[in-house]
């Protein structure tokens, strides 16, 4: 086959173009630090990168969710701690009240303090996280106790003022949602319950304080009758502690989930780096090698092509 001058020129120009393209690709990799600058460079790497970035975005969202979970649990624990402190003060007052040296006036003062403690515990029951009521289940826009100044509304259900601590919320069940669990997703297929079902506990505390108020305000109430409330106080204190223990167990799980998310973030970030990031030493070496090849191609081409064409190329 006859090789013409134009064939040599065309082959040289094509090879030089390919050489420039390779150097341009290597230069882009060095500038960006990535193996690819567009999906067409390597579709497999691009598709894997999308998957890794999706996983990282999910981990970031789960970390934000964990912050919300911690907020709910920490606030619940702190609230119940204050409820326990209030009950201890009630216990001190009831322990002192049966003393026969106390006059009716002294008991009236004790009643007034318990009045305020009762209101304080109701306020604690209506604690909010943001704009959501903490102890209202999924009915987060409604308070446990009425906030309109009335004392006979509890979770949307009319309370029978005559019932004692042994009673229960009337046959009518609580308003929809108050005993439901509030769950937040913290991992693929893993949901954590962030609220605490304290509806019955707060009902019992409220009933107990109402009965104590009644006995303290009634003249002639025996010390033994007032002292009988101590066992009830102990019962509700145990319920508060049980709920705090449950919250503590969930807080421990939250800590474990946070560690798991941190580990997952490191693993996925490494996978993304291995998939897309270049090895600078190798790419720079390839770049230098390609430049040497390109210079050799130019030198050889100058020798085999007529000087007029070479002059044009220069």
Angle (nearest 5°) at CA 141 between 140 and 144: 75
Mean pLDDT of the chain: 81
User: Dihedral sign, CA of 56, 62, 66, 72?
Assistant: positive
Give this prediction's pTM: 0.75
pLDDT tens, residue by residue, 104-115: 788 888 889 999
Helices (H) and strands (E) in the chain, counts: 8, 6
pLDDT tens, residue by residue, 81-103: 999 999 999 999 888 887 867 77
The larger pLDDT score, comparing residue 149 to residue 215, is at 215
Q: Is domain 49-270 classified as CATH 1.20.1330.10?
A: yes
Cα–Cα distance list, 307 to 2, 29, 294, 310 (Å): 21, 36, 19, 5
DSSP-derived 3-state class of residue 227: helix
Give the model's pLDDT for residue 144: 86
Average pLDDT over residues 132-154: 75
Give the model's pLDDT for residue 253: 93
Question: Of 240, 166, 164, nearest to 201 (Cα)?
Answer: 240
Whole-number percent of the chain with pLDDT over 70: 84
Question: Of 105, 87, 111, nearest to 212 (Cα)?
Answer: 111
Residue 62 has pLDDT above 90, yes or no: yes
Q: How far is the C-alpha of 265 from the C-alpha of 257, rounded, in Å?
A: 12
Residue 162 has pLDDT above 60, yes or no: no
């Amino acid at each position: 086959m006859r090789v013409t001058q134009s064939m040599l020129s065309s082959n040289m120009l094509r090879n030089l173009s390919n050489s420039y393209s390779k150097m341009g690709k290597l230069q882009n990799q060095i500038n960006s630090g990535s193996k690819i600058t567009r999906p067409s460079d390597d579709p497999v790497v691009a598709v894997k990168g999308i998957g890794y970035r999706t996983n990282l975005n999910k981990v970031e969202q789960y970390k934000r969710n964990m912050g919300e979970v911690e907020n709910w649990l920490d606030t619940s624990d702190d609230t119940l701690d204050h409820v326990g402190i209030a009950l201890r003060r009630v216990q001190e007052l009831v322990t002192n009240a049966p003393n026969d040296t106390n006059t009716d006036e002294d008991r009236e003062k004790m009643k007034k303090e318990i009045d305020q403690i009762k209101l304080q515990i109701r306020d604690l029951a209506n604690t909010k996280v943001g704009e959501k009521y903490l102890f209202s289940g999924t009915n987060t826009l409604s308070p446990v106790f009425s906030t309109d100044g009335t004392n006979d509304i509890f979770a949307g259900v009319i309370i029978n003022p005559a019932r004692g601590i042994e009673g229960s919320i009337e046959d009518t069940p609580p308003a929809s949602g108050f005993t439901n669990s509030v769950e937040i997703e913290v991992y693929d297929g893993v949901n954590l319950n962030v609220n605490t079902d304290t509806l019955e506990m707060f009902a019992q505390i409220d009933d107990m304080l109402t009965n104590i108020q009644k006995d303290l305000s009634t003249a002639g109430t025996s010390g033994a009758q007032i002292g009988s409330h101590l066992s009830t106080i102990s019962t509700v204190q145990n319920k508060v502690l049980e709920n705090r223990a449950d919250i503590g167990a969930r807080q421990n799980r939250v800590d474990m989930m946070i560690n798991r998310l941190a580990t997952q973030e490191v693993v996925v970030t490494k996978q993304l780096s291995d998939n897309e990031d270049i090895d600078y030493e190798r790419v720079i070496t390839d770049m230098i090698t390609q430049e040497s090849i390109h210079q050799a191609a130019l030198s050889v081409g100058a020798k085999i092509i007529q000087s007029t064409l070479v002059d044009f190329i220069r």
